[in-house]
Amino acid sequence: MPAISPRHLCSVAAALALTVAAPATTATAADASAAALREVMFVGNNWDGTADVIKSSGDFGKIGRINVIPDKDQRMAEINADPIKWIYFMAIRNSVGEGHDQFVDDMYSTPDGKSVVVSRPSFADVVSLDLATGEVNWRFPVSGYRADHMAVSPDGKRVAVSASTSNTVHVLDIETGKELGKFTTGDKPHENIFTQDGKYIYNMAIGDVNTQTDAPWLDWTKGDRRITVVDATTYQQVKVIDMRPKLDALGLSDYSDAVRPAVFSPDESKLYFQVSFFNGFFEYDLATDKITRTKTLPKNPATSDDRTSFVNDSRHHGLSMSPDGSKLCVAGTMDDYATVVNRTTLQEGPLVTASKPYWATVSGDGKSCVVSESGTDQVTAIDFATGRKQVSVPVGDHPQRVRLGHVEAGWTSPSNG
């Protein structure tokens, strides 16, 4: 074996030093990047076309506001020039919009905190907005005439959006808006959920919620309502879950099978879900393919039992779970309260007065449930531990979806916000 010169040894030592140092440099860069982001909550104000940005925990104080329809004039010109688009635009306003345009349904920030992606029902599209300038980065028109709920993949790189009038879910690259795939669903796709490993997407189709055929014996008129499960890589259907026979098996044939907001247990063995017209929720076991428990929550004596008076067929709409899986938080929409429920006993806590709460999510620190009060234009935080109200924060007109996200550290509202 030839001798190794001192110069060669020095070169090897230097190379080894660089090799060892490289991962530390990469980690430092990643840490710096993470430190440059601030966790926030985005609150979509459906009727006025804005999204408020608030603190993700603590006092939930307001940080800024985004105009999610900076291109409104252009979009309206297109709608007014197309009779079919105009008819659907007006139909959304006069039905699901309760006399108002629906300018923001759902929203997620990009992993780098530079943009927020928003679904806009009345404009039948998804847009990415630059959080620094407020300008549109990209726009994706969905198939059909209305965009609805979205979900973001665990890695933050893909967003799935329901196109409710075409029974389709589009999956988009969150950075570019390019369509990566799509799949068909039941009638009127609504909620979407990615599994924690990112392998599957669950879509809940709710059927026709704007008709007046709300009596139980007319339930068949509401359409094909089912959960569609697809492979999140191929976008091929792997399973369909129909709650109708499962409800019938429990003697609950008068209950709707339209699955509304839903949430998995931390181990994803159980799915908790709300259905149209019902003041409560169900527990579904994925392994046995059965509804295992039913929780009926109190009715508000001031709320009419006339199903046709419920907003979009939803008596209760909004469900979240504490990070440890011990508590559920329920938005009792038409009954004007929210409550925290013990998942083991299904015993509810105090009924926290709230005006038409329409969504429930979890704070950034995991300690609070945050509900949007669409009747009083505020969001309210409820302590998971005690079930009692902590604070309410004013937001814009008709808040609905509330999502955790990120902005760059030091972010302030764009000038068009």
Percent of the chain with pLDDT over 70: 91
Q: Give the residue from 354, 403, 331 showing the smallest Cα distance to 54.
A: 403
Is residue 322 a part of any domain in this protein?
A: yes
Is residue 30 a part of any domain in this protein?
A: no
Q: What are phi and psi of 242, to 5 degrees?
A: -110, 115
Cβ neighbour number for residue 133 with a 10 Å cutoff: 12
What's the pLDDT at 416? 73
Is residue 4 a part of any domain in this protein?
A: no
Amino acid sitting at position 103? F
Is residue 32 a part of any domain in this protein?
A: no
**68 close to 46: Cβ distance less than 8 angstroms:** no
What's the pLDDT at 1? 39
The mean pLDDT value for 344-348 works out to 98
Is residue 15 a part of any domain in this protein?
A: no
Q: Could you report the per-residue pLDDT of 11-32, keeping only the tens digit for each?
A: 333 333 333 333 444 444 444 4
Q: Is 343 left (phi over 0), alpha (psi -120 to 50) or beta?
A: alpha
Q: Give the residue from 181, 82, 66 showing the smallest Cα distance to 124.
A: 82
**203 close to 227: Cβ distance less than 8 angstroms:** yes
* CATH code where residue 348 lies: 2.130.10.10
The domain of 262 spans 37-408
Q: How many CA atoms lie within 13 A of 188 on its CB side?
A: 16
Q: Could you report the per-residue pLDDT of 351-390, keeping only the tens digit for each?
A: 999 999 999 999 999 999 999 999 999 999 999 999 999 9
Q: Could you report the per-residue pLDDT of 150-169, keeping only the tens digit for each?
A: 999 999 999 999 999 999 99
Q: How confident is the model at residue 96 (pLDDT cuts 50, 70, 90)?
A: confident
Q: What total of structural domains would you count in the chain?
A: 1
Cβ neighbour number for residue 207 with a 10 Å cutoff: 22
Is residue 129 a part of any domain in this protein?
A: yes
Is residue 227 a part of any domain in this protein?
A: yes
Q: Assess whether pLDDT exceeds 50 at residue 298.
A: yes
Average pLDDT, the chain: 92
Is residue 344 a part of any domain in this protein?
A: yes
Cα 120 to Cα 19, 237, 333: the distances in Å are 49, 26, 22
Residue with tokens 């509810």: 348
